[in-house]
Amino acid sequence: MKQSPLTFVRLDVTTEDIEEMYERYDSGMADHTTANAVCVALGKMLRSEYHPQIVSSSSHFGCRLNVGTEHFSLPMDLYWWLDKSSKGCVPAPTSFLIALPEEMFAGQSPAEDAVEEAIAA
């Protein structure tokens, strides 16, 4: 994918995403880089050919999102949320602000959704 401008979007991690994460973890064959609740929620937003994976960043303290051959830095609050949930704390539903190229998203773009929400308010 060519270098594209990034679009900031709100990623909502719901109770259902967290429950699905635990179901995947309980399967015994789960890859924690793709089965976590953040990837579950993100997978619902992205086009079907994109498979999100969250890995530790080698260049800084935190984590990185890999989607295909592209790599994106993730916010520290997302890192800490995942870190706590991996250590046995029960994660609560939450939202994160992330930036990805608009063409990765399924359906209407997040920017268009935000404009429609603002008009409706």
Along the 121 residues of the chain, how does pLDDT read in single tens digits? 556 889 999 999 999 999 999 999 888 888 889 999 999 999 999 999 999 999 987 666 689 999 988 999 999 999 999 989 888 898 999 999 999 999 999 876 555 555 555 556 5
Instruction: State how far the Cα of 19 lies from the Cα of 84, in Å rounded to an integer.
Output: 16
List the chain domain ranges.
6-120
Sign of the alpha-carbon torsion through 49, 54, 56, 60: positive
pLDDT digit string (tens) for 72-94?
A: 999 999 999 998 988 889 899 99
Instruction: State how far the Cα of 120 lies from the Cα of 63, in Å rounded to an integer.
Output: 35
